[in-house]
Amino acid sequence: MNLQQALDILKSKGYKYTGKRERMVQIFSREDRYLTPKEVLGEMQEDYPGLSVDTVYRNLSLFEDLGIVEGTEWEGERRYRLHCGGDPHHHHLICKECGRTRSLNVCPMNAILGEPEDFTITGHKFEIFGYCKDCEAVSKNEGNCTHS
């Protein structure tokens, strides 16, 4: 999903179109990687000093409900990125260090034959974690540190 599509969702679904919401979508579009709520707050405060954390959390939650962003978590921290939907369904390689992703064109659900008995599927998650080339160099220098 690109910036315009995301903004269109906000407009068309009848939610108020505020500068803060637009800015927040722009951040996700520009960064194009997984961000923690804290990172989002930090970038927002460059334009809106003193922005309430509640506003970020509320909008992250709204954006997730609207399918504008998608969330996951690793190393105990929740993260969000612009939703990739619209394009054919796919999954990601995720760099645990910088949050950047690479698309995988396989979905393991294709190998699942129909609905299993006595179980209703509501969703699935397939993610490959690791380090991209840039970040691997960094993590090697850090030795055994459990970097946050």
Partner DNA sequence: GCTACAAAACGGAATAATTCCGTTTTACAA
Partner DNA sequence: TTGTAAAACGGAATTATTCCGTTTTGTAGC
For the chain, what is the radius of gyration of the CA atoms? 17
Please, what is the end-to-end C-alpha distance for the chain in angstroms? 29
Say whether 86 sits in a helix, a strand or coil. Answer: coil
User: Does 95 participate in binding a copy of itself (rule CB under 8 A)?
Assistant: yes
On whether 145 is known to bind a ligand per the annotation, the reply is: no
Nearer to a copy of itself, 17 or 126 (CB): 126
Q: How far apart are CA 62 and CA 52, in angstroms?
A: 16
Q: Which partner in DNA, a copy of itself, none is near 19 (CB below 5 to 8 A by kind)?
A: DNA
Nearer to a copy of itself, 10 or 95 (CB): 95
What does residue 11 show for φ and ψ, rounded to 5 degrees? -65, -50
Shortest distance (Å) from residue 19 CB to a copy of itself: 29
Which of 50, 88, 114, 123 binds a copy of itself (CB under 8 A)? It is 123
Nearer to DNA, 45 or 103 (CB): 45
Q: How many CA atoms lie within 13 A of 13 on its CB side?
A: 13
Q: Which partner in a copy of itself, DNA, none is near 119 (CB below 5 to 8 A by kind)?
A: a copy of itself
Q: Which partner in DNA, a copy of itself, none is near 133 (CB below 5 to 8 A by kind)?
A: a copy of itself
Cα-based distances in Å from 31 to 26, 34, 109, 114, 148: 8, 8, 29, 37, 20
